[in-house]
Amino acid sequence: MDSTRPVHIGRQAIYDARGQVAAYELLFRDGPGANHATVRDSAATSRVIVEAFTAFGIEELVGDKPCFVNLTREFLVGGLPLPFPPGRVGLELMPGMRVDDELVAAAAALTEQGHRLAIDGFTGDPATSRLLPHVHYVKVDMLTGDRHTIARLVDQCRRIPRIRLVAQRVESCELLELANRLRFELFQGHVLSRPHLITTHALNPTRLARMRLLAELAADDVDLDLAVAGIERDPALAVRILRGVNAAANGLKQPVSSIVQAVVLLGIPQVRQWATLMMVADLADGDESLLTDVVVRARMCQTVAERRGSADGATAFTVGLLSGIGDLLGAPATALTDQLPLTADVAEAVTHGRGDLGAVLRDVRGYQHGGAGDLGEDLLAALRWTNASLTAPEPAAR
């Protein structure tokens, strides 16, 4: 099995009345040839969120534009976490969702928190109309009715001044002209642009280790050292945590030099949310042996740095971890480091092997590839630590 997997996401532009891109909708895609979503459930929603914000990086997908993601009832009423703060992402309520007092209360609470909600495929039915006071966008399907029906829906929404109307499924020039006459603010459909499939590669997660980490994070009194150790043993999650620090939606934009620093900046609750969502989104197992090799390299870098006294051990661990992940992805080191909020010494060590950290990495990598050196004891120690960490019933302390 390959330790990386292709990650696909659909992106469709939403335009304003001037024909400029105003936002994007992010869509689940399960393969490189998929033109439409084959499923629209919580797992699909989780994958869109996780992959948009971590496997790709949200700026990579939408730049400085807002984006919309479809959400299921589980997200809205609190069964699954939203791992981003209000403002950047529009929460799109999927058609056919059961609207009851619980959902209306949840929508009101999310709006009060600053989230922006959208109704997808609004038909004017009494149940869904209960949500109108709590949303900022309403999407009207231009293919579902005649001109008079669509005009009636527009008039109904205009009674709430803050609602912006989105003409959805604008599939012909005639429908675009109708949407303009009815003064829709935003436009989405094939006559303007079709969804664009974007693909990258992400590491397959180690499920067992992540389950242990979730158990650790769920404790009333989380042991930070154990939590960080669990993240360090999960290369895919470690990269996602680092990218989470750099996400514009978090407002942090602060360079970090180690996993522990990233966890402290994000906070245990958000780390727990990312780990939970990744468990929901996992659809394939990783190659344990290859992922273990990455952790061994990281642990060796930490051990060598501490033994020599030449660099901080936690920072050296991060350098080794990122180096190993870059090798697995088969991409230039800069393709990874450019997307992460790394301090200059860490980035230089990973990309160019410079500085004290770079010297440690060069020696460890060379020894792993059969080169000479006196790192035999360091390798054995790293193997013992990694094997104990990945097979022990409970997460092992560092």
The confidence score (pLDDT) of residue 75 equals 78
The confidence score (pLDDT) of residue 231 equals 81
Based on C-alpha coordinates, what's the Rg of the chain? 24
Same domain, 232 and 307: yes
From 85-94, 97-106, 165-174, 382-391, the region with the lowest mean pLDDT: 382-391
Residue 359 token pair: 């010297």
Instruction: Specify the number of domains making up the chain.
Output: 2
Q: Tell which phi-psi region holds residue 63, choosing left (phi > 0), alpha (psi between -120 and 50) or beta.
A: left
Instruction: List the CATH number of the domain containing 311.
Output: 1.10.3210.10
Same domain, 245 and 261: yes
Q: Average pLDDT, stretch 61-81? A: 80
Tell whether 396 is covered by a domain: no
Q: Between the CA of residue 168 and those of 79, 187, 188, 191, what are the distances in Å? A: 29, 6, 5, 11
**Each residue of 148-163: pLDDT tens digit?**
999 999 999 999 999 9
**Each residue of 305-314: pLDDT tens digit?**
999 998 988 8
Give the domain extent around 161.
4-199
Domain end marker among 199, 228, 262:
199
Domain end marker among 199, 223, 248:
199
SS (H, E, C) 266-280: HCHHHHHHHHHHHHH
- Cα distance between residue 62 and residue 23, in whole Å: 8
The three-class DSSP label of residue 160 is: coil
Tell whether 244 is covered by a domain: yes
Same domain, 387 and 239: yes
Same domain, 222 and 150: no
From 98-102, 121-125, 377-381, the region with the lowest mean pLDDT: 377-381
Same domain, 149 and 211: no
The confidence score (pLDDT) of residue 38 equals 43
- Cα distance between residue 29 and residue 244, in whole Å: 22
**What's phi and psi for 271, nearest 5 deg?**
-60, -40
**Each residue of 317-334: pLDDT tens digit?**
888 888 887 777 676 777
The helix (run of H) or strand (run of E) holding residue 304 is: helix 288-308
Same domain, 38 and 113: yes
Same domain, 25 and 132: yes
Same domain, 339 and 295: yes
Same domain, 195 and 209: no
Hunting for tokens 């780990």 — which residue is that? 275
Instruction: List the CATH number of the domain containing 131.
Output: 3.20.20.450
The confidence score (pLDDT) of residue 202 equals 61
pLDDT at 376 over 80: yes
pLDDT at 212 over 80: no
Q: Average pLDDT, stretch 204-232? A: 69
Tell whether 382 is covered by a domain: yes
